[in-house]
Amino acid sequence: LLPLDRRVLACSVPLVGQHLVVLVKYHSVPAYAVCELCLEVLFEWEIFANLADLSVKNGYDITIRGIALSMLFAHWCYWTASFVGIPGLIAQKRRAPLESRSTSLKRSSVVLNVQGSMKRCLESTNNGMDLNAFEALVHRKKLPYQKKQIKQLFEAADVNKSNYIEEEEMQRLLAHMKIMAEVLALEAEEQHEHESVFELADASMKEKQKKEVAHLKEKALAIVSATHNAAHCLEHAAH
């Protein structure tokens, strides 16, 4: 045990602060990085300022200097890894708007492609498509909508409350399908918005993140592809 004097407190308080400001990360990653950097500068300043006085002569254990230097080395490794990951983070942020715009354009074109086939399908039916038929099509083609979402899409498009999707309600259904696809994609993208700058440097975290991003991209593409195939589903249901 070390004496709890000014030197020990001066070297320990910044470390405690670094653990407390982790909560800032969930509000703003840049603010968290600035807080961590300021506390790191204060910590290293106190270590070097008091290193000469951390001696057996002043009542400290013989290992105290080695412990302090080991902590410094560990922090340098930590920060080096963090700074190495920054270029990758910046590149990822720059690609995100382009990928988002490209995906949005693809979804818009998919809705336009579905429009013609859906119109022909609805014209071939007498009353239109009811909720059960619409739900069956969604499940059969594995569209990325849950049962509650399917009902919401149907009810939002069924303006006259006839329990059938008719030709004049087709555009409303297409619009709501597009909106729902956008919401699902945004929810998937938001899972990675608050990733820490420092976690990107760790090799295992990078590999895990790549797999998660690939999975989310596949899900987004599945949404677009499923919406594109909705017209074929409706054509089969008409028969």
Does residue 184 share a domain with residue 102? yes
In the prediction, which pLDDT does 197 show? 44
Is 126 part of any domain? yes
Please state, in angstroms and as integers, the Cα–Cα distance from residue 76 to each residue in 37, 88, 165, following that order: 12, 20, 63
In the prediction, which pLDDT does 60 show? 82
Is 123 part of any domain? yes
Does residue 145 share a domain with residue 50? no
In the prediction, which pLDDT does 129 show? 73
Does residue 132 share a domain with residue 32? no
Domain count, the chain: 2
Contact (CB, 8 A) for 111 and 227:
yes
Domain final residue, candidates 23, 46, 62: 62
- Return per-residue pLDDT of the chain as tens, 239 residues: 566 778 888 888 888 888 898 888 888 888 988 999 999 999 999 989 888 888 888 888 888 888 888 989 999 998 888 888 777 777 766 655 555 555 554 555 545 544 554 565 566 666 677 787 777 767 766 666 778 877 887 888 888 888 887 777 777 777 777 776 666 666 666 655 545 444 444 555 556 666 766 666 566 556 645 554 555 555 555 55
In the prediction, which pLDDT does 107 show? 52
User: pTM score > 0.85 for this model?
Assistant: no
What is the C-alpha separation between 46 and 36, in angstroms, rounded? 15
Eight-class DSSP state of 102: H
Does residue 116 share a domain with residue 180? yes
In the prediction, which pLDDT does 198 show? 45
In the prediction, which pLDDT does 201 show? 45
Q: Collect all residues with Cβ–Cβ distance below 8 Å to 202 and sequence separation of at least 6.
A: 81
Please state, in angstroms and as integers, the Cα–Cα distance from residue 158 to each residue in 50, 118, 141, following that order: 74, 15, 22
Half-sphere exposure (CA, 13 Å, Cβ side) for 76? 7
In the prediction, which pLDDT does 51 show? 86
Is 50 part of any domain? yes
Is 204 part of any domain? yes
Q: Which domain holds residue 127?
A: 86-238
- Torsion angles phi and psi, residue 44, rounded to 5: -65, -35
